[in-house]
Chain A
Amino acid sequence: MSRLVLLVALLIAATPSLGFPCGNEVERTKNEEVRLVIKAERYLEKGMYKRARAVVRSAHRNHSLQVGLRDPRLNRRLDDVRALVALRLELDRDTLAGVVEYLEGRSEAARGTNPRFRAWLAEAYAVTGKLDEARAIFAELQELDLMPDAFAYLALARISSGSVRQEALTLCTRRAKAKAICRLPADAAKPRSLNAARD
């Protein structure tokens, strides 16, 4: 037994460890959990929300743990994708309320240092009728030139009018991976309120 233990120890010692962040590229190609998250985020980036949602659901189906992926950091990213999909598909009122609460927590946990969470929160406010709160966040991010992506500009366009809306749509198109996402819904002039009846 002691020889076996020694052999295993030697094998472990001889195996080169993965360097980080040297292992960036290796992690992205070989780590299944990382690949899953990147896949979901790429669908989201392209506006393919239902496919992104399917990837997130598969992560929970294929892993025995209730919480999904083994790495809590990657799990959080999948939760982010799930929240944003719900937001951008404009699911039911209760779900959107949950998304707002989730993103408020996310933004607070980041202590406002990561503008992505702030922009997502503003997007959620824009969809759910908290327009003043949304405008305040977007104004702050624009002032600091920290608008993270095209979706932030799309959300800003949604709650704006005239030249401001046009400028926001132009910037959305410039910064979007898939230009098709930069289209306002037909009822863009009427943001959904959490208190409004839903048909």
Chain B
Amino acid sequence: MLRCVVAVAIAGLGCGERSAPEPAPAPDPIPVAVPARVDAVDLVTKYECHRCHDVPGVAAAPRDKHCVACHQQIHAGTFAAEPAVLARWQARITSLRWAPSLGSADRLRRTWIRDFLLAPHDLRPGLVAQMPRLSMPTGDAARLAAYLAPGDREPPLAAVAVDLVRGEALYRGLGCARCHRFTGAAVDDAAAHLAGRTHTTPLAAWALAPDLRHARARMTPAHLGAWITEPRGAMPRLGVTPEDAHQLAMFVATAPLVAAAPRRPVTRPPRLARKVTWGEVERRVFRRVCWHCHAVPDFARGDGGPGTTGGFGFPARELDLSSYEGISAGSLDDHGERRSVFSPLADGTPRLVAHLLARHAEQAGEVIDGIRGMPLGLPALPIEDIQVVDSWIEQGRPQ
């Protein structure tokens, strides 16, 4: 919860800089009428999209592999664990409680889906987690995009004159800001969005509401208008006429946006002088976040998590972060050879620390080749925690 609040506050603070409005995206070069639907069930299975998302044509992952279902069970109190343990988890687990259904991805631009898969960014301020950056070649991303958005269903554009004043009035009157941020637009209201969390039911509707800044890139105005008229999933029905839906869609698609303020680059913090032991780094970082995906396979019926035994398209890296001996044993590189996670990269940063810093870079829109940001798809660790890990490594990794 706190991380969500902080994330929303930071997103709000980042939108004050006045600069030229962003231009509308170029029309989708892929023709609307496509000769055949693309089959990409093999890719859905390979990248395990169904571990979080509902995917058309693909059965959900088994319950013991379904991240969102697991977290939902925990919050519903139906997960098989002691009540005290459940209560502790319920207080701490804020991520992966919901994920958008890909059944309604057919409204999105295909090129946007492809680009998003290759370089995901934070789309939904109400969600703690975001789409993880997978190891996905462009061809796979394009095929998945074509599968999810066949492009054979372009709704007609309403034949009415555009009235942006009416569109803005609708936006304000319908209370869109209670669920949606619209960062960079004059109508954006961070306070209303924050208050909306408390008053919106179901909560999934608030959590899954995307930042409308990205709407014009994601959808054509015709699709946006159709969505407003006949929403699917968590989006509530607004009861607007098709004409009003069109005006609202055109407003969302063309409202002037100021560019987001660039995030300050994160640099490697200085190491601490005080002693840092394994107990502290385990408590603050590895046992709190990492071991969920980097665990001991023997203690989890052979499944050490995607970061250990493989998953989401990643090969088995055999990186066990759940114990001192585990982390000391390193991980497998791209050639299947074992390497230390403490080895310094060219700039002297230990590999493990580089991955933690890279997540900050990814959140700022920068992808570092060869270094995947960790934790995958989750908010970057606070710099203070990275500093503690870095200091522990520099001090020789004392127990």
Contact = CB atoms under 8 A, between A and B. Distances in A.
The answer to whether A and B belong to the same complex is yes
Quick one: which of B78, B301, B332, B396 has the most chain A CB within 10 A? Answer: B301
A35 to B, nearest CB: 10
Contacts of A116: 325, 329
A145 B63 contact: no
B64 interface: yes
Interface in B272-330: 291-293, 295-305, 318, 322, 324-325, 328-330
Interface in A155-184: 171, 174-177
A76 B297 CA distance: 13
A71 B300 CA distance: 11
A77 B399 contact: no
Interface residues of B, number: 47
Given A20-B300, A145-B343, A29 B292 contact: no
A187 B303 CA distance: 44
Interface stretch (A126-134, A146-154, A188-196): A146-154
Contact of B64 (A20, A34, A76, A149): A20
A74 B304 contact: no
Contact of B299 (A15, A28, A112, A150): A28
Interface residues of A, number: 41
A27 interface: yes
Nearest to A113: B338
B295 A174 contact: no
A25 B54 CA distance: 27
Given A114-B318, A144-B338, A25 B399 contact: no
A76 B296 CA distance: 14
Given A24-B292, A26-B85, A115 B329 contact: yes
Contacts of B80: 15-18, 26
B339 to A, nearest CB: 7
Interface in A24-68: 24-30, 34, 37-38
A3 interface: no
Contact of A27 (B67, B73, B293, B299): B299
Interface in B50-69: 62-67
B70 interface: yes
Contact of B340 (A20, A77, A144): A144
28 contacts: A17-B62, A18-B64, A19-B70, A19-B79, A21-B292, A21-B293, A21-B303, A23-B301, A24-B296, A25-B85, A26-B80, A27-B299, A34-B299, A37-B299, A38-B299, A74-B298, A76-B298, A112-B338, A113-B318, A114-B329, A114-B338, A115-B328, A115-B338, A116-B329, A144-B340, A146-B339, A148-B329, A149-B325
Given A26-B85, A146-B329, 7 more contacts: A17-B64, A19-B64, A24-B300, A37-B298, A37-B299, A113-B318, A177-B399
Interface of A: 15-30, 34, 37-38, 71, 73-74, 76-77, 112-116, 144-150, 171, 174-177
